[in-house]
Structure 1
């Protein structure tokens, strides 16, 4: 393994050149969920066309997990549900 990023606070190992989605799937994470009970996101097409795997990165814009290379120390989680309270 090359490093770790964090999904919902839990460390996830990744290999060199691996995308966030590939590392999550290898770690057994298939539901990329959404906050507040919204329908869960999933890796579907694997090429960025469907945007079903968009995840939030702490202090950065959301990304497509299937296209984004895993990097050491990233803090990732589900997107907030539409209409969720952001107060």
Structure 2
């Protein structure tokens, strides 16, 4: 069973068991933010090792590739100021 997550206020549908990174990519969303050094964030390794897909969910920084979607989740890009690079 799927549902909807929200990326910067935009509705994104997901399939049951799908990661946030996968749902966002299927919706054509590949830019997930900007690092502290100005580099674009996006999915790279897909297994949580590179931490390039960091996003903010529920006030914490998480890897989108490891975050299983739940209906109604709200995701935002990670703020540059809180990023080490």
Common fold, TM-score beyond 0.5? yes
Give the equivalent residue in structure 2 for 1:18. 18
Paired residue total: 83
Q: Which portions of structure 1, spanning 4 or more consecutive aligned residues, are displaced by more than 2 angstroms?
A: none
CA-based RMSD of the aligned residues comes to 2.3
Report the Cα distance in structure 2 between the residues aligned to 1:34 and 1:72, rounded to whole angstroms.
26
Contact 2:33 2:55 in 1 (8 A): no
Q: Return the TM-score normalized by structure 2.
A: 0.86
Structure 2 counterparts to residues 3-82 of structure 1, below 5 A: 3-34=3-34, 38-57=38-57, 59-82=58-81
Bigger Cα displacement from structure 2, 45-54 vs 26-35: 26-35
Q: Over residues 4-44 of structure 1, what are the superposed CA-to-partner deviations in whole Å (9 max), with x where a residue is unaligned?
A: 01000000000001000000000000111239xx4321100
By percentage of residues, which structure has more strand? Answer: 2
Q: Return the TM-score normalized by structure 1.
A: 0.84
